[in-house]
Structures are given as C-alpha cells and as structure tokens.
Amino acid sequence: MKVAVIDIGSNTVKIKVFDCINNYPKEVFSEIKNSKLISYIENGVLSETGIILLCNNILELKNAAERFGYDIFACFATASLRRTSNIDEIKKAIYSFCNVEIDLISGEEEAFLSFSGVKNTTENFPDDTVLFDMGGGSTEIILSKNKEICLSKSMDFGSLSMYLDFPDNDFEGIKNKAVEHLKGVSITPITSKNAVLVGGTALSINALFLHFFPEEKPFFMTIDKLKTLYETLQKYDDNVIKLLKEKTPHRVTTVIPGLSSYIGMLEYCKTENIFVSTSGIREGYVTEKILKNLEKYK
C-alpha cells in the first residue's frame, strides 16, 4: 500500500510517498517546494498571494504523486498555518482549488509525531536523548528517557522566523534568543549527552559539516566540531555564501540562523553527541495517524 503525505511548513511544502509494508513506511518518492509561506503572513493573515502560492504548490505536488501512484493521500500543516487568523479561508481555498482537506496539527502533536517518526524508523535510536525538530516557524523539543517521552514542547521560532527577526545577520543574537525560548519550556535545565536533530535545516547542516569534516561518519556530529563549523560560517563572507549556494541552495538565508539556534540549545543542554535523522514528522504522521486508523480511509 502506498501513502502520499504533504507537509505544509513555514519554509517549504513537501510531499513524500511511502510504500507501507508490515506497518513500516519506506520512502519511495519525495519532492519539495520552497514557498517561504511565513513571509506572506502579516498581522496573522496569510495574504491572497500566499494562498494562491500554497494552492499551486499543493496541486503540483499532488500531480507529481498521482503520476507516481498512491492508495491514500493526506495533507497536514504545522506552525505555518497554526498562527493564521484566516485559517478557515485558507482551508476553503485549498479544498476548492485542490480538492484537498488540511489536517491542522497542534505543536504538541507535532512534537509527538516527529518523535514517533524518528524512533520507529531509526536503528540504534539513543535510549536517552533530547530531540529537536526545527522547521521554518516552530521548533519542537522532546526529552526522552528509555526511549519514552518525558517532556514535549513546541517553541515559537524556526530557522526562517529567526532570519526574518534578525535581518542584520546577528547570529549571536539568534543563538541567545533560541536559548531564551528553551529556558521557557521547563523550570529546570534540560541536559542530555545525546541529541537527535530532525528536519531540513538539520540535514543541510549535516551536508556542510561533512564538507568541512569529510572523515566523519554521515549523520553524526560532535558539539566541538559543530562549533568550529559555526565559527567559520558566521563570517558570512563571499566564500561562505558561495558554499551555501553549492551545498544548501534551498536554505542559503536560513541555514546559519538554524545553526546558530542549534548551537545555543545544544550548549545549554550540555550535549556531546549529535545524531541527524533522515526521518521525521511525515513518517510519524503515516505511522500514527494513517496506519493506525486505516478504516477512516476505506
């Protein structure tokens, strides 16, 4: 059985098609549109231009998946639309133009689905870890012990929102702001030797990390070398911009704000070992909301 899922984020709109065998989602197709929806939101309202752009993105991705083939189709949105005051208008337009219903998930649900998607599709998932899933407009944190969630929160910032809030490339300001957000999720400091990073920003950081440290194991970083990478990239000179265009062409403006945020949070958590996951919320959505509720789609 093939399942297609569109994820509407603040920075990108993505689709994945999974071949689900024995309740395990295996990715067989993916495509991404760089919408930067958050930049079309003013005073909580997604503009008409933003709505049209989103509808076009959804139609293009849905058509791509239809050419590939699927049995079940779903579409969900996270912080990108959670904070809009005209959500009913947006949903109506998407259903009218795309024949697609939007599942608007909460920050807490987003955190749970990210954790589930990573834990259930990753070999050697750490017993004790802090997981960060940074999108364009929100960042979810999950602290787990013995592979079970003991703290789960959604923070109101992401790589794109940080870039927009700090337009003068104040990367240290971004770093400090991320720590402020993290301090607000718990009355006691969060510490964890291990961290798992989820999402496109994390994967882009990993690509840059391997460029500077090609001898390192893919999808694994140490905090000391990650800080060395940060010191190089925050110069943001012509050489850095050229590298970003080569290695992370879709995230030239947002990857360093994302890295700045991660550095601040990982230092605060006293993290040493960092794992980057290729799975995330879409895998969790398929596992938890579709495969466990198949009668709903019959």
Q: Residue 120 — very low, low, confident or very high, per pLDDT cuts 50/70/90?
A: confident
How many CA atoms lie within 13 Å of 244's alpha carbon, on the beta-carbon side?
23
Whole-number percent of the chain with pLDDT over 90: 81
Structural domain contains residue 116: no
Residue identified by tokens 């689900």 is 20
Query: In this structure, are 72 and 127 located in the same domain?
Result: no
pLDDT recorded at residue 80? 84
Burial 120-146 (b: 16+ CB within 10 A, else e): bbbeebbeebbbbbbbbbbbbbbbbee
* pLDDT at position 140 over 90: yes
Q: What range does the domain containing 140 cover?
A: 122-277
pLDDT of residue 186: 81
- 90/154 same-domain check: no
Distance CA 85, CA 88 (A): 8
pLDDT score at 188: 80
What is the average per-residue pLDDT within 207-223?
A: 95
CATH value at residue 74: 3.30.420.40
Mean pLDDT of the chain: 93
The answer to whether residue 115 is domain-embedded is no
pTM for the structure as a whole: 0.88
Confidence of residue 298 (pLDDT cuts 50, 70, 90): low
pLDDT at position 135 over 80: yes
The edge-to-edge listing of strands for the beta sheet with 129-134 is: 148-155, 139-145, 129-134, 194-198, 273-277, 220-222
pLDDT in tens, 160-185: 999 999 989 999 999 999 999 999 98
Amino acid in position 242:
K
pLDDT of residue 83: 84
Cβ pair 195, 271 in contact under 8 A: yes
Q: What is the pLDDT of residue 121?
A: 84
Burial (CB count <10 Å: 0-12, 13-18, 19+), residue 168: exposed
Band (pLDDT 50/70/90 cuts) for residue 245 is very high
Total domains in the chain come to: 2
Confidence of residue 29 (pLDDT cuts 50, 70, 90): very high
Are 22 and 78 members of one domain?
Answer: yes
